[in-house]
Structure 1
């Protein structure tokens, strides 16, 4: 069973995106809990609930991206789509964790703060994960894609796995 999961690059892409969204929202939610509280007083249950909701929202938004066949993007458009999805996932997670949603009484400030911190973390992750394309012979490229079409990606997946996921014919 796990052999098939390891070889399915699309599944790995979904898992990578959902995992990062969940982790970023989890820590942003804990940061929003305040720095003057003790570890015991942090909103652990709420952070876990929001992070699981963000992971689910990420899976749904990634499915829409795959259905729209908008996956084989160059670096900056891919980063922009990831940032937009991260922001939306975080905001949707805060709204769903609120229970009964009331637009007037909802704590928009905290939800937007968590979404912005999460999005900044996603930008940092994308820049740190940026795969630099290489020129045949081992030298680093100047940033232009190789003739084979290999370009930088913001994914933390192995470069070949990510390329197989986003360029797969559907």
Structure 2
């Protein structure tokens, strides 16, 4: 009986992982105009409309989180921000967080083995990709150390940087 339950559990676990990987591997993202992205998946086509002029975006290795960054199209006179980021859940197709930064955002890198990403700004920030909470990089974290970040084969559509590629 225990062996049957264990075997069933392993089969279900394998199927869940396979479905997640299948979903993620079938996502194609492309910039649509100056401030939107088109997301194609097994669920169809979805347009993520934003109020930022996109400078870049990046998807994590598991293919379930997208972070976009750029400059606000609409200046808030009472609280001007230089840059904005949007954290988006690709699987649920919901915006988790939109946040302004007083200095430019230059890049975003997902940190391996935990649900966070490094936001390259001045100073640098860490964002929790589950909750959207941000905090200044902790002492001891070295953003120049490449081993801190995820490495995987990504679809070329999963990254965009206006100043480096895909112009």
TM-score normalised according to structure 2 size: 0.25
Structure holding more helix per residue: 1
Q: Which has the higher strand share?
A: 2
Higher relative contact order (CA 8 A, sep 6+): 1
